[in-house]
Amino acid sequence: MKTRQTSIDCYNKIKSEGLLSNMRFKVYEAILRKAPCTSGEAFATMTTKENQISQSRARFTELRELGVIYEVQNRKCKITGMNVIEWDLTDRLPIKIKKCNRTKKHKIDDALNSLRELYKNKDTSTDQDWKLVADLIKSI
């Protein structure tokens, strides 16, 4: 599949401005080479040295939280043969992750209030709205 021009433009800006840490950028670059791909397929494109250092599925979660990649679907990996997540690039620059010291109770209240809002606006809410609430719930 051909990578979208908007994703390529975003990649170039991230690279030129150094918006990702070194290891995150190496994984991001590997995804760009094979997108959409699984983590195993992305790691297979990396050099042995890069792969030894960064073969951590945690980079994928971090890149997702930064908003530069997203989960496409679950499918069988061509490298591992396992049913895993397929990832693709967004056309967004990394967002700053806010560290918050909110209690679990506050996070649950936020999630419940977000769900209530979605229910009230169910006719106009988008899939992205639902994904944001799902991510909020996952973070609890």
What does the pLDDT read at residue 113?
87
79 plus 108 within the same structural domain: no
C-alpha span between 14 and 106 (Å, rounded) = 34
On whether residue 118 sits in a domain, the answer given is: yes
What does the pLDDT read at residue 57?
77
User: What CATH number does residue 14 fall under?
Assistant: 1.10.10
**Element at 89 (helix H, strand E):** strand 83-89
On whether residue 108 sits in a domain, the answer given is: yes
108 plus 85 within the same structural domain: no
What does the pLDDT read at residue 28?
93
121 strand-pairing partners: none
The number of distinct structural domains making up the chain is: 2
Q: Which residues of the chain have pLDDT under 50?
A: none
Enclosing domain of residue 54: 5-89
81 plus 111 within the same structural domain: no
48 plus 112 within the same structural domain: no
